[in-house]
Amino acid sequence: MNSPAELTTALATLPAFSALDPAAVPAKIAAIVADNERGIEQMLDASGPKTWDAVCARLDNFNDRLNRAWSPVRHLHSVADNDALRAAYNEALPLIVNYGTAQMQNDRLCAAYRALLESPDFASLSAARQQVIRHAVRDFRLGGIELDSAARERFSAIQQRLNQLGTHFGDHVLDATRAWHWHTEDASRLTGLPDSLLRLAAQNAGQAGRPGWLLTLDLPCYGPAMMYAEDRALRAELYGAYCTRASEQGPDAGKFDNGALIGEMLALRHELAQLVGFANFADYSLATKMAPSAAGVIGFLRDLAARSRPHAQREFAELQRYARDQLALDALEAWDVAYASERLRQDAYAVSQEALRPYFPAPRVIAGLFAVVGRLFGIEIAKVNGIDTWHVDVEVFRIHDAEGRLRGLFYLDLFARPGKRGGAWMDECIVRRRTASGIQQPVAYLTCNFTPPVGGRPSLLTHEEVITLFHEFGHGLHHMLTLVEEAPVAGINGVAWDAVELPSQFLENWCWEREAIDLLSGHHETGERLPGIMFERLLAAKGFQAGVKMLRQIEFALFDFRLHVEYHPQIDVQQVIDDVRREVAVFLPPAWNRFQHSFSHIFGGGYAAGYYSYKWAEVLAADAYARFEDEGVFNRAVGTDFMTAILEAGGAYAAMALFHRFRGRDPQPEALLRRSGLLS
Ligand SMILES: [Zn+2]
């Protein structure tokens, strides 16, 4: 039943943003941390059996209390930054990090969870509680808690060294990127470059105290330069510098070389994995993921590659033909590919995102989004007025389900402004759980950076921005529609890393459906829906070089994964990437290309033996969506199935089991291939 009391209770849990005093934050966080740590020790000291209620429920209470105090600070630091807040954030952050680390290294806590896992009572716990305990024991083990003291010391020394190496790797890439530039005072060499890039290049030169134009290897400069520069020698020079960054090749050969760092990182990851009982780092990485095995991941990537390859070869042949006939480029070189592709795209497929904007005013898109998820899941979303937030543009909404029950609340913060970090994301404000006083309702932050309304004109979105909004809302629904009552596995918590993008990528599909576009579009002056001809072109552009793009991602993923599976002390990294390219790529780069020396995802970020996750999640999302294609894209019964099987279940069950619940079988790649136009 629709109960106003339920909403009042939930609203009372929201943080008081305007009353948040940055100066008081570090002391407040320190007090909670100290109090929690005392409480955890007391709990472990207590005599009596270590039951769910005596240990897990109490630990979750402690952690939830800290999360709820920290979440608004973390959030404001991202969306309403100022000096006082940043100082408070930086002072309190180490307390939060150390609190988490200490918990993972707490032997007595680990013993309590392990005892529960092995106790006869375990079987009588709910599925969610069982999963919380399983995950905890797993994570204690992956953190090295089972090791004797010498091995534990080695384990943490490796972790620290790996962190350092990752930072050095990134620093080298950054230094190499900054060290090189290309300068000219001859405007004729810049023919073809768009005005925005010319302005940037002139500004670069001005900042360096030089006349003319200066091109750098920063992506906003390098990317468009490679796409638009008609001067082939310039493209070749840029490419040569970019693809040899931080290596023993190219114009800065040996200066910032990441070669030794890569070798040391691979060796240490391998040792770390073996210390805690895995054959290699790939197996260690998979311990927390949905993909079943290393062989499974490699088979998955090879199958996708083999099936995409004929299409990619045709696409590349089309590109070669076009380059020869239209651009007088007889032999396509590595530095011609982006340029020729962009020319072909514009000739044959282009639709300007700018031309689409008038059809997607933000208020219309938001109403359309709510209508789409309303039809799919039977939920009803309404604005709640008078809520304290951090900015006048921020709105608060509540979600009711088909039975009129409150399911969650969210803050919607759509527009770019000073002090707000770029990009779009969903973050947790409050996680759903059962407390002594009832259900604590989930609350999400949904953040975008769209152009704000100007004068009387509403914010107008590109189609890409509409997709971004759907993507983040998919994460939001995963967080808010959960019915799990244990925070560590509610919503996106406890969901395998390679499955967490399923709901977000899944929801994007409706941005490509005519019926949904009719709900989402309406010209801001005339109200006219997106014209059919523009929609057709949008669909055609989506399929442009889909095979080539697919293979490129598979090349990265297979290289990353094989490197970590096949590691041995004499491994030749260049040999592995050469092998992968021979197997997968439709076009081989020059032998001196050292892409891997700036592959920050796997050497400077968190994607080691996990880059395949991008494709994995895409397959899950497309395959889940295919049921809607078969049974109706607005089929409410299928929507309800998706909601109950995936969204409501969160991390309480293994991701593969949930996929089976919805699809009745293992994920299959056909739907992704078909939607990408790669199925013959
Ligand atoms: Zn995402």
Q: How far is the CA of 613 from the centre of ligand 1 (A)?
A: 12
3-state class (DSSP) for residue 230: coil
28 Cβ contact partners less than 8 Å away, ≥ 6 residues apart: 69
Q: How far is the CA of 509 from the centre of ligand 1 (A)?
A: 14
How many Cα atoms sit within 13 Å of 344 on the Cβ side? 21
Distance 129 CA to ligand 1 centre (A): 26
In angstroms, the first-to-last Cα distance of the chain is 50
All residues at 6 or more sequence positions from 400 whose CB lies less than 8 Å from its CB, including other chains: 2, 379, 380, 381, 382, 406, 407
- The SS3 call for residue 432 is coil
Calculate the CA 553 to chain-centre distance.
Answer: 15
Q: Which of 409, 406, 379, 378 is nearest to 394 (CA)?
A: 409
What is the whole-number distance in angstroms between the Cα of residue 501 and the centre of ligand 1?
5
Res 219: pLDDT: 87
Say how many C-beta atoms besides its own lie within 10 A of residue 512's C-beta.
17
Q: How far apart are CA 383 and CA 174, in angstroms?
A: 44
Distance 470 CA to ligand 1 centre (A): 10
Q: Which regions of the chain are under pLDDT 50?
A: 1
Compute the distance from residue 471 Cα to the ligand 1 centre, in Å: 6
Q: What gap in Å lies between CA 554 and CA 470, rounded to an integer?
A: 25
Ligand 1 centroid, distance to 468 Cα (angstroms): 9
The token pair that represents 324 in the structure block? 């020869």
Specify the amino acid at residue 127: A
What does 14-67 look like in DSSP terms, one character per residue? S--GGG--GGGHHHHHHHHHHHHHHHHHHHHH--S---IIIIIHHHHHHHHHHH
Residue list, CB under 5 A from ion ligand 1: 501, 504
- How many residues are there in the chain? 680
- Chain centre distance of CA 629: 26
Annotated catalytic sites, by residue?
472
Residue 186 φ/ψ region, left for φ over 0, alpha for ψ in the -120 to 50 degree band, beta for the rest: beta
Q: How far is the CA of 647 from the centre of ligand 1 (A)?
A: 15
* pTM score, whole prediction: 0.93
pLDDT at 679: 85
Supply the pLDDT for residue 349.
81
Q: Quick one: three-class SS letters along 58-108? A: HHHHHHHHHHHHHHHHHHHHHHCCCHHHHHHHHHHHHHHHHHHHHHHCCHH
* Contact indicator for 315, 322 with CB cutoff of 8 Å: no
- 500 Cα: distance to centroid of ligand 1 (angstroms): 8
Q: What is the pLDDT of residue 2?
A: 57
Expressed in angstroms and rounded, the spacing between residue 473 Cα and the centre of ligand 1 is 9
- How far apart are alpha carbons 39 and 58 in whole angstroms? 9
Ligand 1 centroid to residue 498 C-alpha, Å: 11
d(CA 281, CA 450): 40
Contacts of 309 (CB under 8 A, 6+ apart): 547, 551, 584, 586
Closest alpha carbon to 349 in 544, 496, 74: 544
472 CA from centroid of ligand 1 (Å): 6
